[in-house]
Amino acid sequence: MSKPDDVVEALGKGGAHWREGRSAFEAAHSWFVAGGLPASIRNLLKTDPAFREPVVLKAIFEKKTKLDSYGRESQTDVVAYVETRSGLAVVGVEAKVDETFGPLVHEWNNYTSGKLRRLAGLLDMLKLRSGLVSTLRYQLLHRTAATLIEAKEAGAHEAALVVQSFDKRRAGFFDFVAFADAFGVPIAEVGRLSQPKKVGDVAIRLGWTENHLHSAKRIADGTS
């Protein structure tokens, strides 16, 4: 991809999700304008010593990750492969404006065999107890799992799942905090990575960044 509009063909519903003020549009423009990590994400990563001096080697928009054989892939807004002082790291980015993180686990789970197996696999991979997840947002489980899978496949030992929020009201923030608590890595504050959780050979953190809506357009227009 050489420009933001190239992301459109990779979106789940194509151009229907591509408009100013929505997450796909805002995220793509922010990454292309920055020429790599947007400042909010760079500053977030630098709060953890393992991510000092991050340099993007490659960033893939709308990256599909196969979780298992029981359902659809997890499609992450951006997966970035980053060189740091500690070596290679993978950063999964979920962009949001005022969208939710989808249904709660108990709403998504209709107890079909495929969903029960999918959920059991996610719980095992994330080292989560089943009694903690009913009221968590399902999307956060499979995005975190996808980030771990991408890190493992890349041979990276450090990873982070980051929310790139463009909503000043922080829609979804409390759902993210609830997931982080259940995952065992509480979010202390916006703009700072959580403590790492070791899952197999990968240490993964969670973080939330705040971004200005339309910032990319203002920069391009020379008005900011």
Where are the domains positioned within the chain?
4-221
Sign of the C-alpha dihedral, residues 61, 108, 178, 213? positive
Is a pLDDT exceeding 50 seen at residue 164? yes
Average pLDDT over residues 169-186: 97
Q: Exposed, middle or buried, 96 (CB in 10 Å: 0-12/13-18/19+)? A: buried
pTM over 0.75: yes
pLDDT at position 223 is: 43
What is the C-alpha to C-alpha distance for residues 6 and 130, in angstroms, rounded to an integer?
40
Largest CA distance in the chain: 54
How sure is the predictor about 66, in pLDDT bands with cuts at 50, 70 and 90?
very high
What is the C-alpha to C-alpha distance for residues 178 and 181, in angstroms, rounded to an integer?
5
Is a pLDDT exceeding 60 seen at residue 224? no
Is a pLDDT exceeding 90 seen at residue 163? yes
Is a pLDDT exceeding 80 seen at residue 23? yes
Question: Would you say how long the chain is, in residues?
Answer: 224
Mean per-residue pLDDT over the chain, rounded:
91
pLDDT at position 67 is: 97
